[in-house]
Amino acid sequence: MQKGGKKVPGIIIAGLRGGSGKTVVSLGITAAWKEKGFNVSPFKKGPDYIDAGWLSKAAGRPCYNLDTFLCPSSAVKYSYIEHSQNCDICVIEGNRGLYDGIDTDGSTSTAELAKLLNLPILLVLDCTKATRTMAALVLGCMKFDPDIRIIGVILNRVAGKRHEKKLKDNIEKFCQIPVFGAIPKLDSEDFPERHMGLVTSEEHHFADKAIQASIQIVQENIDLNGLYTLISRREYSDDSRIRMMGELEVSRNQKLKPVSVTIGIIRDSAFQFYYPDNIDALIRLGATIVYISPLKETSIPDVDAIYMGGGFPETHAAELAQNIEFKRILKRLSLKGLPIYAECGGLIFLGQCLSLEGVDYPMTGIFQIRFGLCKQPQGHGYTRIEVVHENPFFKTGEILTGHEFRYSSVLNIDYQDYEMAFRMDRGKGIVDKRDGFFKQNTFGTYTHIHALGTPSWASSLIGMANTYKALKS
């Protein structure tokens, strides 16, 4: 259990909007505390794989996502308490602006997560061309919801010492909270952006250098000792209610009866978007995990099911197209009834081809879908799904929550209505508000689900794997 029966101290790092600099601050604080010898448990609020990947690299351990749209509040509490055990401190990076959510109540906001977990907030401010106004914005955030606790701020993109002094004096006078540091305007070379976030740490050839740069930025500009001392105070580090909820959820999972199957997970720089909770759920139910790369391997080991996550197959389209033997084997296994579950980038790999700048790159051809790539997102945000057709993975009538984020588009598709398991109540899906394309035991969807919010997914995949294994023997 956690030290002294108490919740490990933690901090939520939030901003006034997306792009305020909270990712660099979160990375730097996480990596700097790790370098000082702390065991840091990182979390990312919201449906985000890229920032989570960087935080995982900075902490040297998996980063878990906390999302009250994808998962029930009790499951979010469980994930936080479970993955902060035996750590010295937790760092949670928020998303978008502090109060931004999908409704006027802010029910999915970073602020609501802070209240749910009873955690203090460190606010990162983009101070470009502003001084006293930043104090007004901070004060507004503090008074907008008196149940949250903003305990300090980090000034970002500060123009110089004079600018910093004006900001600090105003915030400390009118808001009466400390300024823990001021970061000057930085060159973007260490953290290049692509799509709507950072490039993945796996794709960044200088990932270690970028992490070291973030450590230096934080160590030179932020009072880490003062911040740690403040959030370690008793009022910020003890909440037996959360601990009890975590223990309740753990006891529920201990009742599961595991089976012994082997799940192959397609994972490399082309397919890297996986929630750790999803893989953990499979392991908890008895799966042995084998990682497989269509970029490096020409064969597929003996597995009982395959899980293919998302990623950026478009950046590796030529390599994927050239691995003819791997694609041939995967298609043959699909025809034999091997359970295959694919999300987004994995769905593209199951298709007929990916067309980029007039060149068609052949994929596996399991599904008769031609994909293209657009400059603007073709699907972006949370999804809510009703299962409307019988399929191998989900029961009809089931309501699922997930999210989609894609630049790919469907250029052409050959399907029957009954082959689309999902109707999109929220989100775009594959075509005509339909998603969840399946043939035999192969299932592809643009929607990413979270295992703690959709527990039927892991048990279904394990059950199908067990059945397939029995048929092989």
444: confidence class by pLDDT, cuts 50, 70, 90: very high
Quick check: 458 and 451 in contact, CB under 8 A?
yes
Share of the chain above pLDDT 70, in %: 89
| Residue 162, domain CATH | 3.40.50.300
CA dihedral of 408, 356, 413, 304, whole degrees rounded to 10: -70
Q: What is the mean pLDDT of residues 204-233?
A: 87
Q: How many CB atoms lie within 10 A of CB 197?
A: 17
Query: Model pTM?
Result: 0.90
Q: What is the mean pLDDT of residues 40-49?
A: 95
State whether 185 and 266 are in the same domain: no
pLDDT at 203: 53
Give how far Cα 67 sits from Cα of 76, 79, 131, 398, 425, Å. 7, 10, 33, 20, 19
Instruction: State the Cα–Cα distance between residues 370 and 185, nearest whole angstrom.
Output: 44
Q: What is the mean pLDDT of residues 61-65?
A: 96
Answer yes or no: is pLDDT of 281 > 50.
Answer: yes
Dihedral (CA of 45, 48, 49, 52) sign = negative
Q: How many CB atoms lie within 10 A of CB 433?
A: 14
Looking at per-residue confidence, does 250 or 150 come out higher? 150
pLDDT at 244: 46
SS3 for 243?
helix
In one-letter notation, the amino acid at residue 27 is L
473: confidence class by pLDDT, cuts 50, 70, 90: confident
State whether 242 and 261 are in the same domain: no
Q: What's the domain range around 344?
A: 256-472
Q: Cite the DSSP H helix spans in 60-108.
A: 73-83
Exposure letters 23-39 (e unless 16+ CB within 10 A, then b): bbbbbbbbbbbbeeebe
pLDDT at 296: 95
- The region of weakest confidence among 197-206, 381-390, 418-427, 431-440 is 197-206
Tally the domains of the chain: 2
State whether 69 and 33 are in the same domain: yes
Q: What is the mean pLDDT of residues 61-82?
A: 95
State whether 275 and 147 are in the same domain: no
Quick check: 465 and 416 in contact, CB under 8 A?
no
Q: What is the mean pLDDT of the chain?
A: 90
Instruction: State the Cα–Cα distance between residues 408 and 379, nearest whole angstrom.
Output: 9
Q: What is the mean pLDDT of residues 317-344?
A: 98
State whether 230 and 279 are in the same domain: no
Instruction: State the Cα–Cα distance between residues 285 and 240, nearest whole angstrom.
Output: 28
pLDDT at 193: 42
State whether 324 and 437 are in the same domain: yes
Instruction: State the Cα–Cα distance between residues 307 and 346, nearest whole angstrom.
Output: 8
Q: What is the mean pLDDT of residues 156-160?
A: 95
State whether 260 and 131 are in the same domain: no
Quick check: 46 and 67 in contact, CB under 8 A?
yes
* Domain final position from 202, 227, 250: 250
State whether 273 and 391 are in the same domain: yes
| Residue 349, domain CATH | 3.40.50.880
3-state helix, strand, coil in the chain (%, to 5): 35, 25, 35
In one-letter notation, the amino acid at residue 158 is V
State whether 354 and 307 are in the same domain: yes
pLDDT at 3: 43
State whether 428 and 445 are in the same domain: yes
Q: What is the mean pLDDT of residues 335-361?
A: 97
Answer yes or no: is pLDDT of 245 > 90.
Answer: no
Q: What is the mean pLDDT of residues 241-252?
A: 46
pLDDT tens digit string along 161-213?
A: 999 999 999 999 999 999 999 999 877 654 544 433 445 555 555 678 888 88
* Domain final position from 250, 270, 305: 250
pLDDT tens digit string along 387-405?
A: 999 999 999 999 999 999 9
- The region of weakest confidence among 100-104, 297-301, 419-423 is 100-104
Give me the half-sphere count of Cα atoms (radius 13 Å) on the Cβ side of residue 447. Answer: 34
Q: Which among 127, 141, 344, 353 is annotated as catalytic? A: 344
Answer yes or no: is pLDDT of 452 > 80.
Answer: yes
141 has catalytic annotation = no
User: CA-based diameter of the chain, in Å?
Assistant: 75
Answer yes or no: is pLDDT of 246 > 70.
Answer: no
Quick check: 406 and 431 in contact, CB under 8 A?
no
Specify the pairing of strand 305-308 against strand 197-198. Answer: unpaired
pLDDT at 240: 47
* Domain final position from 215, 250, 285: 250
- The region of weakest confidence among 109-123, 139-153, 185-199, 420-434 is 185-199
472: confidence class by pLDDT, cuts 50, 70, 90: confident
pLDDT tens digit string along 78-128?
A: 999 999 988 999 999 999 999 999 999 999 999 999 999 999 999 999 999
State whether 16 and 122 are in the same domain: yes
pLDDT at 71: 96
State whether 246 and 383 are in the same domain: no
Specify the pairing of strand 287-292 against strand 40-45. Answer: unpaired
